[in-house]
């Protein structure tokens, strides 16, 4: 009986060996088991920034589309009227970005396609919208391209609306100079319904300096729903260093240019006994020139046209010709606050004066201040001026 069982076991082992060998012989050499899954090439995956369907996006932010596991065939970003936005691919065409700003309150639609590693085309689709300002506020620079100005000229940006977020605006402003110059922006009280910000150096501008102002204001949120309307810029030159030394007690007006005296005019300043008629002490700045200027005062009862008038403040102070005070020029102060010169001397000064020239008045008890309006930047110490910055 044992012999029979042994023979049966040997036969079964032999059969199993044959089956196994047959199975192995039927599988190609090196092939995987039938249960092993095949690895497929991936399809293109597209990412959008700003996200598709998003709103209130900044028009100055870069719109970018990227693809993973593929490359772009073409990309378009289209405005509502069908205009396409300029943009560029990276080297391997896996990214496309805008190269120009967008518009306010617009919907932009993606188009084009990308091909994945699997060879299949995937279309670009979706849209986003940009912010809709409650108001756009425009800024204007006081010094235009190519001008030559005096060493005391402040740079002013006057806005036609209120700026609530002054720090955001100031971060968008830059000043570059051909020689190192220390300076600071300072925010002044709103005037005429609009905000204003000035830039002045710590000391007078160095003569011959080239100054470039850039205000990248488009797209900047000013606060309270207002946004910047447009970028502005200017490049200008600082001229010769001409400074007027106006000591009221000397009854003279001295003109210094590049450290040398070039004129000494007999003058009459504001009447000292009337504080309202005192010529204000402090650094005035030449802002305007008139060959003929009508001057009116109801309080003091005059209405006259004066020649060769150079404005030095916004409170009515001018350097101008006045034959009526000729006898006092060089000896007495009798004016209503202006600096009176003879016709010939006033014409000579008029011809040599530039916007931004400093006029340093000394010797009176009444100081030039913000109450006198317009340019009073130089009446403050450097530390106080820097305190007017929003940054």
Q: Residues 229-282: pLDDT tens digits?
A: 999 999 999 999 999 999 999 999 999 999 999 999 999 999 999 999 999 999
Per the CB < 8 A criterion, the answer to whether 300 and 338 are in contact is: no
**Does residue 17 register a pLDDT over 80?**
no
Per the CB < 8 A criterion, the answer to whether 320 and 282 are in contact is: no
2: which 2 tokens?
């044992």
261: which 2 tokens?
């005296």
CA–CA separation, 148 and 303 (whole Å): 34
**Which residues, in sequence order, are CB contacts of 139 under 8 Å at separation 6+?**
157, 158, 159, 160, 215, 217, 228, 229, 230, 232
pLDDT class for 3, splitting at 50, 70, 90?
very low
Average of per-residue pLDDT across 42-71: 97
Average of per-residue pLDDT across 127-149: 98
Residue 376, pLDDT score: 86
Tokens 């160095």: give the residue. Answer: 206
Phi-psi domain of 301 (left: phi exceeds 0; alpha: psi -120 through 50; beta: other): left
> How does DSSP assign 99-167, residue by residue?
-S---TT-EEEEEEEEEETTS-EEE---EEEB---SEEE-EEESS-TT-EE-TTPPEEEEESS--S-HH
**Does residue 10 register a pLDDT over 90?**
no
- Buried b / exposed e over 276-311, threshold 16 CB at 10 Å, is ebbbbbbbbbbbebbeebebeeeeeeeeeebbbbbb
- Would you state the CATH architecture of domain 135-239? Sandwich (2.60)
Q: Residues 331-383: pLDDT tens digits?
A: 999 999 999 999 999 999 999 999 999 999 999 999 998 887 678 899 999 99
- Range of weakest confidence among 127-131, 144-148, 182-186, 190-194: 190-194
Are both 135-239 and 242-375 of the same fold? no
Q: Residues 122-133: pLDDT tens digits?
A: 999 999 999 999
Residue 36, pLDDT score: 55
Tokens 């009515």: give the residue. Answer: 316
Average of per-residue pLDDT across 114-119: 97
66: which 2 tokens?
């990227």
Residue 195, pLDDT score: 97
Residue 19, pLDDT score: 37
Average of per-residue pLDDT across 193-213: 97
CB atoms inside a 10 Å sphere around CB 40 = 8
pLDDT class for 1, splitting at 50, 70, 90?
very low
Residue 37, pLDDT score: 60
Residue count of the chain, please give it: 391
389: which 2 tokens?
């910055």
368: which 2 tokens?
């030039």
Phi-psi domain of 135 (left: phi exceeds 0; alpha: psi -120 through 50; beta: other): beta
The residues that are catalytic are 320, 338
- Range of weakest confidence among 15-29, 82-96, 186-200, 280-294: 15-29
CATH code for residues 242-375: 2.40.440.10
Per the CB < 8 A criterion, the answer to whether 278 and 365 are in contact is: yes
Residue 297, pLDDT score: 84
CATH code for residues 45-129: 2.60.40.3780
**Does residue 61 register a pLDDT over 90?**
yes
Percent of residues, the chain, with pLDDT higher than 90:
84
The domains of the chain are located at 45-129, 135-239, 242-375
pTM of the model: 0.84
DSSP E strand stretches across 155-277: 155-159, 173-177, 183-191, 194-201, 210-215, 221-223, 226-228, 232-238, 242-247, 252-257, 260-266
- Range of weakest confidence among 33-37, 91-95, 112-116, 203-207: 33-37
Average of per-residue pLDDT across 153-164: 97
Residue 54, pLDDT score: 97
CB atoms inside a 10 Å sphere around CB 39 = 6
């Amino acid at each position: 009986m044992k012999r029979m069982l042994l023979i049966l076991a040997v036969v079964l082992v032999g059969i199993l060996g044959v089956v196994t060998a047959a199975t192995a012989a039927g599988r190609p050499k090196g092939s995987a088991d039938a249960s092993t899954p095949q690895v497929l090439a991936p399809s293109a995956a597209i990412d959008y920034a700003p996200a598709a369907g998003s709103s209130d996006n900044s028009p100055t932010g870069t719109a970018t589309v990227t693809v993973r596991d593929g490359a772009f065939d073409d990309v378009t970003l289209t405005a509502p009227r069908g205009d396409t936005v300029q943009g560029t691919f990276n080297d391997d065409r896996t990214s496309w970005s805008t190269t120009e700003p967008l518009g306010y309150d617009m919907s932009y639609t993606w188009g084009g396609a990308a091909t994945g590693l699997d060879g299949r085309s995937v279309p670009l689709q979706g849209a986003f919208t940009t912010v809709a300002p409650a108001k756009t506020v425009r800024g204007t620079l006081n010094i235009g391209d190519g001008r030559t100005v005096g060493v005391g000229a402040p740079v002013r940006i006057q806005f036609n609306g209120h700026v609530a977020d002054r720090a955001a605006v100031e971060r968008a402003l830059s000043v570059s100079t051909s020689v190192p110059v220390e300076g600071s922006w300072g925010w002044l009280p709103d005037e005429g319904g609009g905000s204003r910000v000035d830039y002045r150096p710590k000391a007078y501008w160095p003569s011959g300096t080239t100054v470039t102002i850039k205000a990248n204001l488009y797209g900047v949120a000013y606060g309270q729903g207002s946004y910047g309307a447009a970028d502005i810029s200017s490049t200008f030159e600082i001229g010769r260093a001409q400074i007027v030394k106006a000591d009221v007690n000397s009854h003279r007006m001295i003109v210094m240019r590049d450290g040398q005296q070039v004129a000494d005019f007999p003058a009459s300043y504001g009447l000292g006994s009337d504080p309202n008629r005192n010529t204000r002490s402090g650094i005035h700045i030449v802002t305007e020139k008139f060959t003929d200027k009508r001057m009116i005062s109801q309080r003091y009862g005059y209405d006259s046209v004066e020649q060769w008038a150079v404005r030095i403040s916004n409170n009515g102070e001018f350097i101008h010709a006045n034959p009526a005070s000729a006898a006092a020029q060089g000896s007495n102060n009798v004016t209503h606050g202006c600096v009176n010169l003879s016709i010939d001397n006033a014409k000579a000064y008029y011809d040599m004066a530039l916007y931004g020239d400093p006029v340093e008045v000394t010797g009176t008890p009444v100081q030039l201040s913000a109450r006198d309006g317009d340019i009073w930047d130089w009446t403050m110490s450097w530390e106080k001026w820097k305190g007017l910055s929003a940054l």
